Amino acid sequence: MIATSTIIAGVGLAIGAASAYESYEAKNDQNKANKKAEAAREQAMNLDALRRRRAVIRQTIAARSTALASASQSGATQGSGLAGGLAQAAGSGNSELSSSNKQQQLGAGIFAANRQAGDAATSASNWAGLSSLGNQIVDNSKVIGRLGDYSSEKLFG
């Protein structure tokens, strides 16, 4: 008759294997969901950056229009004051656009790093689960080895 400890070890090993597989699947599902969330956040960041750039362009156009209107009212459309005002508006707009682009590049780098970190965490978790299963097998190797000692003839007949 099979020893009770052998049956318990077999059941424990089966449960450990099933748990390791389900943990692996759950971690992969979690990683996929995290990637979708990160992609949505990155898309929102890009949309916000686009809106900021459009706002800067509108502000620059408004500043140039204000400078031109002021120069026209005072009859100084041919003077250096208008050229300076237009240059200042363009320079300020370009500076703000450059800043927005740099912020977007930094954000993209952060999102890429977050994706790598998520992949690494999933991989680490999967390997930890396999390690745990391997440890269970080693811990129960003597009992598992005895499973081969029982043939169907001994068990059933």
Write down the pLDDT at residue 51.
Answer: 92
State the sign of the Cα–Cα–Cα–Cα dihedral 149, 152, 155, 157. Answer: negative
Q: Is the pLDDT of residue 27 over 60?
A: yes
Residues 42/147, Cβ–Cβ less than 8 Å: no
Residue 64 lies in a domain: no
The pLDDT of 91-110, averaged and rounded, is 90
Residues 95/59, Cβ–Cβ less than 8 Å: no
Give the count of domains, the chain: 1
The string of pLDDT tens digits covering residues 29-59 is: 888 888 898 899 899 999 999 999 899 899 9
Residue 76 lies in a domain: no
Residue 78 lies in a domain: no
What residue has token string 């740099």?
102
Residue 145 lies in a domain: yes
Q: Is the pLDDT of residue 146 over 70?
A: no
**pTM for the structure as a whole:** 0.61
Domain of 117 in residue numbering reads as 4-50+90-156
> Of 63, 135, 143, whose CA–CA distance to 96 is shortest?
63
Residue 41 lies in a domain: yes
The string of pLDDT tens digits covering residues 51-87 is: 998 998 999 898 888 888 887 887 777 778 778 888 8
The pLDDT of 85-104, averaged and rounded, is 88
Dist. CA 100–CA 80, nearest whole Å: 30
Dist. CA 22–CA 10, nearest whole Å: 18
Residue 70 lies in a domain: no
Q: Phi, psi (5° rounding) for residue 91?
A: -65, -45
Mean pLDDT computed over every residue of the chain: 81
Residue 63 lies in a domain: no
Residue 12 lies in a domain: yes
Give the residue, 3 or 135, on which the prediction is more confident: 135
